[in-house]
């Protein structure tokens, strides 16, 4: 991106084609070189329902590799409170939220190499205007005395020390997780037992339907009842599997059915004759 031909005063913001404002970034006060960031208000219609509000999200290009999420948060906090910072190797849709786990059990995060892009969400919309109107000749410092940023061997050594987990800390995390898991498992078992008791069938196959509070509809189809009905359907399908597949199978099935009906008919005739004989009047 080439800067615009418009001349800028010493205290003016530098706007280039595309609507990007140029910000100068300097690693420390002693450093003699500066790095350029390109910022712009994030406005994408397809992301109206994401965690990137259109009126409070700043899109930043050319983030150097030594700037982490914490460092970017600290740099742009001078323009207002920052709610979140998202770093990526290229612009795109927001990542799918992952399951929250303890830092001990989280897999190693993929290190984004090279220059990155950032989505910075501020608490107030006016922070966007302050960032875009920041003078281009006033650099933003990355490392200061209050918040030093380590690089090179110091950074790698710190990252290695952070990966070392004490056995006591690991045991505490595992115990807390297992206690929470046992509680959730017991609660789920109690709920299933309660639903199974409410949806229990009697001897004739009727299901007792209970009504909740006044004004609420009865809910006979619980998870236990649905599971039971599903198992019944599966057994029914297995019994019918490959039955009457061929024409001769269907014909034989009909013949067997007719033979069973005739046999039952003869048995019923004999039973009726026996009942009539028992009811015959015999005075002596």
pLDDT of 2 > 50? The answer is no
Q: What's the rounded mean pLDDT across residues 69-98?
A: 82
Give the pair of three-digit tokens for residue 3. Answer: 């800067």
pLDDT tens figures, 41-82: 888 766 555 678 888 899 999 898 888 888 899 989 989 999
pTM > 0.85 = no
Q: State the pLDDT confidence band at 7, using cuts at 50, 70 and 90.
A: very low
Which residues, including other chains, have CB under 8 Å from residue 94's CB and lie 6 or more apart? 47, 50, 51, 52, 86, 119
d(CA 21, CA 15): 4
Output the CA–CA distances (angstroms, integers) from residue 112 to 25, 40, 104, 178, in the order listed. Answer: 20, 22, 21, 34
Q: Percent of the chain scored above 90 by pLDDT?
A: 14
- Crossing angle of helices 167-198 and 223-239, in 10° steps, is 70
């Amino acid at each position: 991106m080439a800067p615009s031909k418009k001349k800028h005063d010493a205290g003016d913001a530098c706007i280039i084609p595309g609507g990007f404002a140029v910000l100068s970034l300097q690693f420390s006060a002693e450093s003699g070189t500066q790095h350029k960031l390109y910022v712009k208000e994030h406005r994408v219609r397809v992301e109206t329902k994401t965690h990137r509000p259109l009126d409070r999200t700043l899109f930043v290009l050319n983030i150097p590799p030594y700037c982490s999420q914490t460092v970017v948060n600290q740099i742009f906090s001078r323009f207002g409170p920052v709610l979140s910072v998202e770093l990526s190797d290229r612009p795109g849709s927001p990542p799918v939220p992952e399951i929250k786990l303890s830092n001990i059990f989280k897999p190693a995060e993929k290190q984004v190499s090279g220059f990155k892009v950032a989505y910075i969400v501020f608490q107030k919309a006016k922070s966007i205007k302050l960032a875009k109107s920041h003078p281009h000749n006033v650099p933003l410092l990355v490392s200061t005395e209050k918040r030093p940023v380590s690089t090179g061997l110091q950074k790698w050594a710190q990252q290695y020390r952070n990966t070392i987990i004490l056995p006591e800390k690991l045991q505490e995390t595992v115990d807390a997780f297992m206690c929470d898991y046992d509680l959730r498992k017991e609660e789920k078992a109690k709920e299933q037992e309660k639903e199974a008791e409410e949806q229990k069938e009697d001897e004739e196959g009727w299901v007792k339907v209970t009504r909740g509070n006044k004004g609420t509809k009865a809910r006979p189809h619980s998870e236990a009842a649905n599971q039971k009905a599903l198992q019944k359907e599966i057994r029914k399908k297995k019994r019918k599997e490959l039955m009457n597949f061929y024409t001769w199978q269907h014909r034989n099935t009909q013949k067997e059915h007719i033979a069973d009906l005739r046999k039952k008919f003869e048995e019923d005739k004999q039973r009726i004759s026996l009942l009539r004989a028992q009811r015959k009047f015999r005075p002596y």
